[in-house]
Amino acid sequence: MGKYFNSGGKILGLALWLGAASMGAAQAGPPEEPRVVNMAELGKVAGKRGGTLKILMAKPKDIRMMVIYSGTRLVTYNDSFKLAPDILKSFDVVEGRQFTLHLRKGHKWSDGQPFTSEDFRYYWEDVAYNKELARGGLSNKLLVDGNPPKFEVLDELTVRYTWESANPLFLTALAGARPLYIYKPAHYMKQFHAKYQDKAKLDQMVIDNKVQKWSSLHVRKGRQYRPENPDMPTLQQWMNTTNPPSEHYIFKRNPYFHRVDEKGTQLPYIDTVIVNMSSSAIIAAKTGGGESDLQARYLRFDNYAFLKKGAETHKYKVYLWPNGKGSQMTILPNLNVADPVWRKVMQDVRVRRALSMGINRPEINEAIYFGLAQETGNSVLPSSPLYKEEYAVAWADYDVEEANELLDEAGLDKRNGDGTRLLPDGREMVITVETAGESTEETDVLQLITEHWKELGIKLFSKPTQRDILRRRITNGDTIMSVWQGLNRGLATPDMNPEELAPVSPLQGIWPKWGQYYETKGVAGEAPDLPEVIKLSELYQSWRKATSVEEQAKIWHAMLSIFTDQVYTIGIVSGTLQPVVVNEHLRNVPKEGIYSFEPTAYFGHYLPDTFWFDE
C-alpha cells in the first residue's frame, strides 16, 4: 500500500484508496511499524489467538466501556504511568507548547483504509471549526488563554499543534479514559458532510435516518466514544458488528490493529468479545454462575463471599483490586444551592468540617467494607506521589463533641423540642441527600450516617433518583447535598490534570454554578466569591501554564491542601476493594491491579488485547 502515499496530492490519494478498497486489495495485518508489546517485560506470557470473551453490561450506554477497556489512545500511560505513544509512532514536544505527532507507516482503519494526517485535518478543519457540527467551539483542553493552537499538516504521517504558550493538558487529554478525539475517519465521515456530499443525496440520508439535519446525522454516525455504528471504522482492537438496540453486542477483531507481541503475532489474541446486556441487579448472580469471563463493573465488595462460593464450580478466579478513586463515595455539599439560607450554611467551612467529623468512619468501614478500607477523606491515595497524610486525615476523625461545638459556633445553636438544630430562618435542619440510586451500598452508608448525624442534631433523608435526573438537579442548584464518587484521579501524578479540585464544570456537585461560569467562559453561571475557591481557580490556571513537573507538583500540593482543609467534599472511606472475576483459563489478567477510571481506564491500562484463553 505504501506507493499510494507517495503519489502526492491528497485528493488523488483519496481516489486511489477508494479504488483500492473496491478492488479488495487491502491486505489485513498490522502497520509496517507496529507497536511491539513486550509480554515478558510486562510480566505477561505471549499466547495464542482465538476464543470468545463474554462480558456483562447493564445499560445501552455501557457500550462505551468497550472504548474505555480498549486502552487504545494516541498516547497512553505506560507501566510506570509515564506518557508513551500508542496509536502514534512517536511525539515530539518543544517547550511544552509545540507538539509534533508522528503516525505509523501503513496504519489502517478497521475497514482497510489508511489512517493518515488527512483524518486529523478533516477533524480540525471540517468538524472542530464547522459551526454546525461544533456549536460549543473547541474543547477547553485545546485552548490556552482562550487561544486555539496552530494546526499544520507536515506530511502524510505527521501533524503539528503549536500554542503560544505551554499546554500541559494536551497529551493527558489524549490519554484520558474518555479521550479527547482530534481525528475522525475522514474517508467514511465525508459522505455525511455537507461540504463533501451532494446535497440531494445528503438530504435523502437525513430523511432515511429520521434526523433533523445533516449535522445530527454526522454526529450520530461518527461517535467514537460510543461505538454504536457498526459501519464506522475504528482503530481499536475489537470493532462492533451489532446495530443498537440489542441485548447482545458482538465485537470482532480489527484485522489492522497496530499492536503485535514480541514474536510478531498481531494482537488482539481474542477473536470475539460478546457484550451481553442484563439488569444490573442480577449481574453479580450471573457472574457467580460463570456467565462472564471478565467482570468487575456492577460487582460490589459485598458480593465477594458469594462470588468466591461459585468460583470452583464455575471455574473462575476472584481478584480484589484496590479502587483508584480518592474516596469510595463522597457527600457533596452544594455551595451553590438555590435556597439562600442553605447556601450560606453550606458555604460555612465550620459546618462542612463538623459534618465530616460527625461521621463514624470506623463503624462504616467495619460494617460495610469488612474493615479493609482506609478511613480517610477525599484526597489522593498513598500510592500517588502527591500523597501526604495530612490531606487524607483532614477533618476525618470521629469527634462528636468538637463537631457539635463547630456547629454551635456557626450559628446553628438553636434546637427544637426533639433536639434537631434549626436553620437561621427557623426551619428544621433536615438535609435531603440525593443519590443516583444505583447501589444499595450508598443507601447503607447513608443510613449509618443518618444515625451519626442524629448525634449532631441534624436529620438526614436519602432520596434515590436517577443519574441523569440527579445531574440536572445538581446543575440547577436544586440539591442541598448529593452523593458521588471521590476524586477520579486518586493516583494523580503532577502532570495529571487537577481540574477536579477547582470549579471547571457545571457537573461538579459542590459548585455547579461556579463550574458553569468557567466552562461557558463567563456567559452563564456565577463567578466564585469565596476567597479559597478563587484561589483554587487561580492555582488551576497557573497549573495550565506550568512547564516543569516540580512546578506542577507544587501547585497540586497547594490545591490539595486547600481542598482537603476546606472539606469541599466529605469523603467516607478510600482504598476499598473491587472484586474482579476472571475466567480460570483467561491468561495475562494481572492478579493485582488498580480499578479506576483515570488513569487506568479500568482494564484498558492492562492491555485487554494481550489476554488469551489457554484452552
Partner 1 sequence: MSALPPENTGKLPHFVSKEPFDLESIEKLTPEQERIYFASQLTLMWWKFKQHRVAVWSGVFLAVLYASIFISEFLSPYDMTKRHVKDIYAPPQGIHLFHKGEFVGPFVYPYKVTRNMETLQRVFTVVDKKPQPLRFFCRGDKYKWFGYVKSNLHLVCPPKKGSFYLLGTDRLGRDMLSRIIAGARISLTIGLIGITVSFVLGIVIGGLAGYYGGWVDMIVQRMIEVLQSIPSIPLWLTLSAIMPATWSPILVYFGITIILGLLDWTGLARAVRSKLLALREEDYVLAARLIGASPKRIIGRHLVPGFMSHLIASATITIPTMILGETALSFLGLGLRPPITSWGVLLNEAQDINVVAVYPWLMLPVLPVIFVIIAFNFLGDGLRDAADPYK
Q: Report in angstroms how near the CB of residue 5 gets to partner 1 at its nearest.
A: 55
Contacts 24+ apart (CB under 8 A), 549-558: 549/494, 549/495, 550/494, 552/168, 552/494, 552/495, 553/385, 553/386, 553/494, 555/498, 556/386, 556/492, 556/494, 556/498, 557/386, 557/388
Strand 459-464 relative to strand 430-435: parallel, antiparallel, unpaired? parallel
The interface region with partner 1, picked from 197-205, 210-218, 368-376, 606-614 by CB under 8 A, is 368-376
Burial of 578 (0-12, 13-18, 19+ CB in 10 A): buried
The interface region with partner 1, picked from 88-96, 144-152, 300-308, 496-504 by CB under 8 A, is 300-308
Q: Which of 30, 71, 288, 486 binds partner 1 (CB under 8 A)?
A: 288
Whichever of 360 and 384 has its CB closer to partner 1, that residue is 360
Name the residue among 489, 490, 526 with its Cα closest to residue 506.
Answer: 526
Is the bond preceding 227 in cis, omega lying within 30 degrees of 0? no
Q: Is residue 448 involved in binding partner 1 (CB under 8 A)?
A: yes
Contacts of 96 (CB under 8 A, 6+ apart): 166, 167, 168, 547
Whichever of 284 and 410 has its CB closer to partner 1, that residue is 284
Q: Report in angstroms how near the CB of residue 305 gets to partner 1 at its nearest.
A: 5
Q: Which of 170, 251, 269, 304 binds partner 1 (CB under 8 A)?
A: 304
Whichever of 444 and 565 has its CB closer to partner 1, that residue is 444
Q: Which of 302, 397, 405, 455 binds partner 1 (CB under 8 A)?
A: 302
Whichever of 57 and 380 has its CB closer to partner 1, that residue is 57
Q: Is residue 430 involved in binding partner 1 (CB under 8 A)?
A: yes
Q: Which of 220, 463, 521, 591 binds partner 1 (CB under 8 A)?
A: 463
Q: Under a CB-based contact definition with an 8 Å cutoff, are residues 346 and 337 in contact?
A: yes
Which x/- pattern, by CB under 8 A, does the window 306-335 give for partner 1? Answer: x-xx--------------------------
Q: Is residue 366 involved in binding partner 1 (CB under 8 A)?
A: yes
Whichever of 372 and 530 has its CB closer to partner 1, that residue is 372
CA distance 491 to 82: 13
Tell me the CA end-to-end span of the chain in Å, nearest whole number: 36
Q: Which of 132, 444, 565, 584 binds partner 1 (CB under 8 A)?
A: 444
Q: Is residue 82 involved in binding partner 1 (CB under 8 A)?
A: no
Q: Which of 98, 130, 420, 447 binds partner 1 (CB under 8 A)?
A: 447
CA distance 474 to 476: 5
Q: Is residue 584 involved in binding partner 1 (CB under 8 A)?
A: no
CA distance 64 to 62: 5
Whichever of 34 and 509 has its CB closer to partner 1, that residue is 509
Name the residue among 317, 271, 270 with its Cα closest to residue 612.
Answer: 270
Q: Is residue 469 involved in binding partner 1 (CB under 8 A)?
A: no
Site for partner 1 in 267-286 (CB under 8 A): 282, 284-285
Whichever of 225 and 461 has its CB closer to partner 1, that residue is 461
CA distance 431 to 595: 32
The interface region with partner 1, picked from 363-371, 389-397, 512-520, 535-543 by CB under 8 A, is 363-371
Q: Which of 98, 246, 432, 439 binds partner 1 (CB under 8 A)?
A: 432
Q: Report in angstroms how near the CB of residue 291 gets to partner 1 at its nearest.
A: 13
CA distance 261 to 587: 14
Q: Under a CB-based contact definition with an 8 Å cutoff, are residues 592 and 320 in contact?
A: no
How many residues sit in the footprint of partner 1 (CB under 8 A)?
A: 27
Three-state DSSP at 42 gives: coil
Q: Is residue 595 involved in binding partner 1 (CB under 8 A)?
A: no
Buried b (16+ CB within 10 A) or exposed e, 489-512: bbbbbbbbbbbbbbbbbbebbbbb
Within 301-382, residue ranges assigned H as helices are 304-310, 340-347, 349-357, 361-369
Residues contributing to the site for partner 1 (CB under 8 A): 282, 284-285, 288, 302-306, 308-309, 363, 366-368, 370, 372, 430, 432, 440, 444, 447-448, 450-451, 461, 463
